[in-house]
Amino acid sequence: MSIVVSNISKSYKTVKALKNISFEVNEGELFGLIGPDGAGKTTLFRVLTTLLIADEGKATVAGYDLLKDYKTIRESVGYMPGRFSLYQDLTVEENLKFFATIFGTTIAENYDLIKDIYVQIEPFKTRRAGKLSGGMKQKLALSCALIHKPKVLFLDEPTTGVDPVSRKEFWEMIKRLQQKGITILVSTPYMDEAALCDRIALIQDGTILQIDTPEAIIKHYPKAIYNVSADNMYQLIESLKAYEHSHSVYPFGEFVHYTDKRTGFDPKQLKKYLEEKKLAGISIEITQPTIEDAFMELAI
Amino acid sequence: MKTIGFIIQKEFKQIFRNKGMLPIIFVMPMVQLLILANAATFEIKNIKFAYLDHDRTPTSRALLEKFTASTYFNVLTDYASGKQANSAMLKGDVDVVLEIPPYFEKDLMNDKHNQLGLTINAIDGATAGVESVYVSQIVQSFNKNIRTELMQVSDNLVRPIQITTIPSFWYNETLNYKTFMVPGILVLLVTMITLFLSGMNIVREKEIGTLEQINVTPILKKQFIIGKLFPFWIIGMGLLTIGLIIAKLVFDIPIVGSLALMYAYTSIYIFVVLGIGLFISNFTDTQQQAMFIAWFFMVIFILMSGLFTPIESMPEWAQAITEFNPIKYFVEVMRMVMLKGSSFTDILPQFAKTLVYAFIMNGLAVWSYKKTS
C-alpha cells in the first residue's frame, strides 16, 4: 500500500472540511479524487503532504506515518499545489536547480525522470517562470515536483485553467510517470479526466461518496439514462422537472440527461407528455452513463 | 551547508532582479541621509522679531541694535501699539515681541534697574524655550555694557567681581548638529531597511504560495531562516559602510573610535532587527500587514531612541520602555564610538544587552516559524 488513510477528519473553525475520510492507494496506482470545488480535495492533499495536521485519524504515505515520520515523507513525496507556486522571478532552470538542491540532489541525477517533460520547456530555460504560458508553468511545476524522484506524487488540480490541448498532453505525461512506478494521487473537478485514472474516489462536502474503478462506477449506475433534447431547452428542463415520474434532470452538453423513477419506463410516454407541453423538435434516446452521471446520482 | 549557500544565492538573485526594490534599498537611504542630516537641527535661526519701543531714546535704540546685529533674529518691524503686535502674533507673522517701556533710559539711569516686556509664541514649546534663552542672553550682555557706560568713577571702587562661565563642549566642540545627527540618522536607515526587508520577505513567499512548496521539502527550519536572513545582514552592513563613507566625505564627521568595534557591534545589532522582522513575518499573512506592524514598531523605536528627544527627559515608565529599544543602544554606541572614541569596555553594557536581545528575538523567530499549519 502506498497511501493508507483511515478516518481522517479536519475542521477549520466551524467548517468541517474532511469528515472521516478513509481510502487506500496501491503501489504504482493512478488514483483520482473527483469532486466539485470546496469538496475538501485540497485540504486532504495538504494533510497528506504534512502541511496540515489532521484533527483525527491516521494515515501513512509511502509506508511512513504522517505524524511520526513527517520528515521522511517530505523527502519521498512530490507535491504540485493547485496554485502555481514557484519563484516567478527566477528562470526555469534556476527554479529547477533550486528545488534539486533543497532536496539534496542535482538535475543530472534524476534527469531521466523529468526528461520527457523538461525537453518541452528547455528552449525557454533562461526565461523567468512568471513569463511562461499556463501550460508551460504546469510542466515546470511538475518537473520541480519530480526532481527528487519521489515515490508518491500529489497533483492538486493540475489541469484547472489549462487549455484542452495542454490538458490532454498533461494526462499523457501523468500516464508515463505511472509507468515508471510512481504512485500518483491526482485531484480534478473535471469528470472526463476521471476515466483516465485506475481508481477514483468521488468526494463531496468532505465525505467520500464512492471508491471504485471508473468502469465499475459506470457499470453500477442503477438507472437507464436518456438524452433528451428539444428546441426550447429552458422550457424542456422546466417541463421535465415538473414531470411526476422524473428522478433526475440536469443539462449535459447539448442534451438534458433524464432518468425515470419507474423501472418499466417507456420513452413514448414522455414524448407525449412533452408534446402536451407544446415543445417541438423532441428527441429521446437512451445513452451510456458517464462518471458525471454517477456523481450526480450520488450527490443529489 | 550547500543548501544554505543556494538559498542565499537565490535570495540575492531575487533582490537584484526586483527593479522596484533595488533603488529603495540603496538609493533611498542615501538620499534620506543627505537630506535629513542637513535639515534636522535643533538650532533655531531666523526668528521673526518685532518690538514696541515706547521710549525711543538712544539707549532703547542701542538695545534693538543688538537684536538686529544677531544672526538669530530677523528684526521685522516695530508696532505702535500692543494690540497690533498681538494680532500679528495671532496670525503667526511674528515669533517674539519685545516691549520697551516708556522712560526706559531714564529709569535705568536713576534706579539702575528696569523691566522689559517679552512675548513669545509658544506653540512649539521647545522652540520657545530656546528663543527665550537667546533674548535673555542678548539683554544680559547689553546690560553689562550699559552698566559700564553709566557707571561713575566712584562706583568703580565698589565694583563686584564678576563670575563668568565659559562652556567647553567636549566631543563636539562647535556644537555642530551634523556631527551629532549623522551617526543617529545612519542608525535609523540601517534599521529601517533591514527591518522592512526581513519583515516582508517570508510573508511574500506566503503570499505567492512558494512557502507551501518549500514546506513540503525536507529543508530544515534553521537552514531556511539562515539562508533568508543572511542576505539582509550583508545589505545592512553594506548600508553602514556606504553611510560611513558619506558621513566622512560629505559631512566630515570625525570618526574618533575604532571602525572594527563599530562593525562588530552592528553585526550583532542587525541580527536583533532581522529577528524582529522575521517574527513579524511569521505572524502576518500579507506584506501589507507586515509593513504596518513594522512601521508601528519603527515609529516607537525612532521617537524613543533618544535621537530627537533626550531619554533623560522622558517620564520614568517611558524610560523603562526604552530599555527594550534596540535603536537606543545603537544610537548610543555609534555616538560613543564615533565621536568619543569609546573602547569595547565602555560599550560593554550596550553590547551585552544587544547580544542577549539578538538571541531572544531570533530564538522566538525560529520557534514561531512553523512548516506545518
Inter-chain touch A103–B17, beta carbons under 8 Å: no
- The per-residue pLDDT for B245 is 92
Averaged pLDDT for residues B154-159: 48
Q: What are the chain A neighbours of B218 within 8 Å (beta carbons)?
A: 71, 74-75, 102-104
Residues A126 and A269 in one domain: no
- DSSP annotation of B336 reads I
Whether A201 contacts chain B with CB within 8 A: no
Crossing angle of helices B348-368/B326-335, nearest 10°? 150
Residues A168 and A20 in one domain: yes
Residues A235 and A282 in one domain: yes
Give the gap in angstroms from C-alpha A101 to the nearest C-alpha of chain B.
6
Q: What are the chain B neighbours of A49 within 8 Å (beta carbons)?
A: 216
Q: What are the chain B neighbours of A52 within 8 Å (beta carbons)?
A: 372-373
Q: Cα–Cα distance between B100 and A210 in angstroms, integer? A: 101
Give the gap in angstroms from C-alpha B269 to the nearest C-alpha of chain A.
29
Comparing CA positions, the residue from A160, A142, A213, A156 lying closest to residue A185 is A156
Residue A176, classed as helix, strand or coil, is helix
- The per-residue pLDDT for A123 is 92
Q: Domain boundaries in chain B? A: 7-40+174-368, 47-158
Lowest mean pLDDT among A85-89, B180-184, B186-190, B202-206: B180-184
Q: What are the chain B neighbours of A79 within 8 Å (beta carbons)?
A: 213, 216
Tell me which chain A residue has its CA closest to the CA of residue B15: A89
Inter-chain touch A75–B218, beta carbons under 8 Å: yes
- Express each pLDDT in B311-348 by its tens digit: 888 899 999 999 899 999 999 998 889 888 889 999 99
Q: Cα–Cα distance between B322 and B302 in angstroms, integer? A: 10
Whether B16 contacts chain A with CB within 8 A: no
- Chain A with chain B: Cβ pairs closer than 8 A: 69
Averaged pLDDT for residues A85-94: 91
For residue A210, pLDDT beyond 60: yes
Q: Report the percentage of chain A scoring pLDDT > 70.
A: 100
Residue B364 · residue B289 · CB < 8 Å: no
Strands A225-229 and A207-212: unpaired
What is the pLDDT confidence band of residue B172, given thresholds at 50, 70 and 90? low
Residues A111 and A187 in one domain: yes
Out of A163, A191, A219, a domain closes at: A219
Inter-chain touch A101–B6, beta carbons under 8 Å: yes
Comparing CA positions, the residue from B151, B165, B145 lying closest to residue B65 is B145
Comparing CA positions, the residue from A91, A62, A79, A103 lying closest to residue A158 is A79
- The per-residue pLDDT for A35 is 86
- The per-residue pLDDT for B94 is 86
Give first-to-last CA distance, chain B, whole Å. 26
- DSSP annotation of A128 reads B
- The per-residue pLDDT for B173 is 67
Whether A88 contacts chain B with CB within 8 A: yes
What is the pLDDT confidence band of residue A292, given thresholds at 50, 70 and 90? confident
Q: What are the chain B neighbours of A70 within 8 Å (beta carbons)?
A: 372
Give residue B319's identity as a one-letter amino acid code: Q
Residues whose CB is less than 8 angstroms from the CB of residue A21 and which lie 6 or more positions away in sequence, other chains included: A5, A7, A8, A9, A40, A44, A57, A203, A206, A207, A208
Q: What are the chain A neighbours of B217 within 8 Å (beta carbons)?
A: 74, 99, 102-103
Residues A182 and A56 in one domain: yes
Residues A25 and A47 in one domain: yes
∠ CA A148-A150-A156, rounded to 5°: 110
CB atoms within 10 A of CB B248: 13
What pairs with residue A32 in β-bridges? A186, A200
Pick from B18, B215, B217, B373 the residue to mutate for testing the A interface (most A CBs within 10 Å): B217
Q: Cα–Cα distance between B63 and B108 in angstroms, integer? A: 13
Whether A67 contacts chain B with CB within 8 A: no
What is the pLDDT confidence band of residue B273, given thresholds at 50, 70 and 90? very high
CATH of the domain at A41: 3.40.50.300
Out of A219, A236, A253, a domain closes at: A219
Averaged pLDDT for residues B168-183: 74
Rounded to the nearest integer, the mean pLDDT of chain B is: 84
Q: What are the chain A neighbours of B208 within 8 Å (beta carbons)?
A: 85, 88
Averaged pLDDT for residues A232-240: 89
Inter-chain touch A74–B213, beta carbons under 8 Å: no
Q: Cα–Cα distance between B311 and B322 in angstroms, integer? A: 8
Residues A170 and A256 in one domain: no
Inter-chain touch B372–A51, beta carbons under 8 Å: yes
What is the pLDDT confidence band of residue B355, given thresholds at 50, 70 and 90? very high
Residue A156 · residue A81 · CB < 8 Å: yes
Instruction: Give the closest of A51, A71, A90 to B10, CB-based.
Output: A90
Pick from B19, B213, B370 the residue to mutate for testing the A interface (most A CBs within 10 Å): B213
Residue, of B109 and A231, whose pLDDT is higher: A231
Inter-chain touch B10–A52, beta carbons under 8 Å: no
Sheet-wide strand order for A152-156? A77-80, A152-156, A183-188, A30-34, A199-204, A207-212
For cell 491526482, the residue is A186
Residues A138 and A252 in one domain: no
Averaged pLDDT for residues B356-360: 94
Residue A187 · residue A202 · CB < 8 Å: no
The predicted complex's ipTM stands at 0.78
Instruction: Give the closest of A71, A79, A85 to B208, CB-based.
Output: A85
Residue A147 · residue B213 · CB < 8 Å: no
Inter-chain touch A86–B219, beta carbons under 8 Å: no
∠ CA B323-B329-B331, rounded to 5°: 130
Give residue B195's region: left, alpha or beta (phi > 0; psi -120 to 50).
alpha
Cβ-based burial of B27 (10 A; exposed 0-12, middle 13-18, buried ≥19): exposed
Question: Domain range holding A214?
Answer: 3-219
Q: What DSSP assignment string belongs to B188-211? A: HHHHHHHHHHHHHHHHHHHHHTHH
Q: What are the chain A neighbours of B13 within 8 Å (beta carbons)?
A: 89-90, 94
Lowest mean pLDDT among A264-278, B29-43, B291-305: B29-43
Q: What are the chain A neighbours of B18 within 8 Å (beta carbons)?
A: 89
Residue, of B56 and B272, whose pLDDT is higher: B272
What is the pLDDT confidence band of residue B310, given thresholds at 50, 70 and 90? confident
For residue B213, pLDDT beyond 70: yes
Q: Report the percentage of chain B scoring pLDDT > 70.
A: 91
For residue B154, pLDDT beyond 60: no
Instruction: Give the closest of B13, B214, B216 to A94, CB-based.
Output: B13
What is the pLDDT confidence band of residue B174, given thresholds at 50, 70 and 90? low
- Express each pLDDT in B117-143 by its tens digit: 888 888 877 778 888 888 888 888 887
- The per-residue pLDDT for A213 is 92
Q: Cα–Cα distance between B363 and B182 in angstroms, integer? A: 32
Residue, of A246 and B169, whose pLDDT is higher: A246
For residue A192, pLDDT beyond 90: no
For residue A183, pLDDT beyond 70: yes
Inter-chain touch B216–A75, beta carbons under 8 Å: no
Strands B96-100 and B47-53: parallel
Residues A152 and A294 in one domain: no
Lowest mean pLDDT among A40-54, A124-138, B78-92, B103-117: B103-117
Q: Cα–Cα distance between A197 and B151 in angstroms, integer? A: 115
- The per-residue pLDDT for B292 is 94
Number of domains in chain A: 2
- Express each pLDDT in A241-261 by its tens digit: 888 888 889 988 889 999 888
Residue A157 · residue A82 · CB < 8 Å: yes
Task: Return the CATH architecture of domain B47-158.
Answer: 3-Layer(aba) Sandwich (3.40)
Tell me which chain B residue has its CA closest to the CA of residue A145: B213
- The per-residue pLDDT for A263 is 80
∠ CA B258-B262-B264, rounded to 5°: 110
Whether A119 contacts chain B with CB within 8 A: no
Residue, of A164 and A92, whose pLDDT is higher: A92
- The per-residue pLDDT for B314 is 87
Averaged pLDDT for residues A119-127: 91
Comparing CA positions, the residue from B315, B317, B316, B310 lying closest to residue B332 is B310
Residues A108 and A236 in one domain: no
Whether A89 contacts chain B with CB within 8 A: yes
Residues A116 and A243 in one domain: no
Residue, of B308 and B322, whose pLDDT is higher: B322
What pairs with residue A202 in β-bridges? A34, A210
Averaged pLDDT for residues B196-206: 89
Q: Strands (DSSP E) along chain A, which ranges? A: 3-12, 15-25, 30-34, 56-61, 64-65, 77-80, 152-156, 183-188, 199-204, 207-212, 225-229, 246-252, 255-260, 283-287
Give the gap in angstroms from C-alpha B199 to the nearest C-alpha of chain A.
19
For residue B49, pLDDT beyond 90: no
Inter-chain touch A70–B372, beta carbons under 8 Å: yes
Residues whose CB is less than 8 angstroms from the CB of residue B83 and which lie 6 or more positions away in sequence, other chains included: none
Helix (H) / strand (E) element for A299: namely: helix A291-299
CATH of the domain at A255: 3.30.70
Out of A178, A196, A219, a domain closes at: A219
Q: What are the chain B neighbours of A90 within 8 Å (beta carbons)?
A: 10, 13-14
Residues A22 and A130 in one domain: yes
Give residue A149's region: left, alpha or beta (phi > 0; psi -120 to 50).
left
Residue B71 sits at φ, ψ, to 5 deg, of -80, -15
- The per-residue pLDDT for B50 is 87
Residue, of B162 and A17, whose pLDDT is higher: A17
Rounded to the nearest integer, the mean pLDDT of chain A is: 89
Inter-chain touch A85–B212, beta carbons under 8 Å: yes
Give the gap in angstroms from C-alpha A250 to the nearest C-alpha of chain B.
37
Averaged pLDDT for residues B44-56: 84
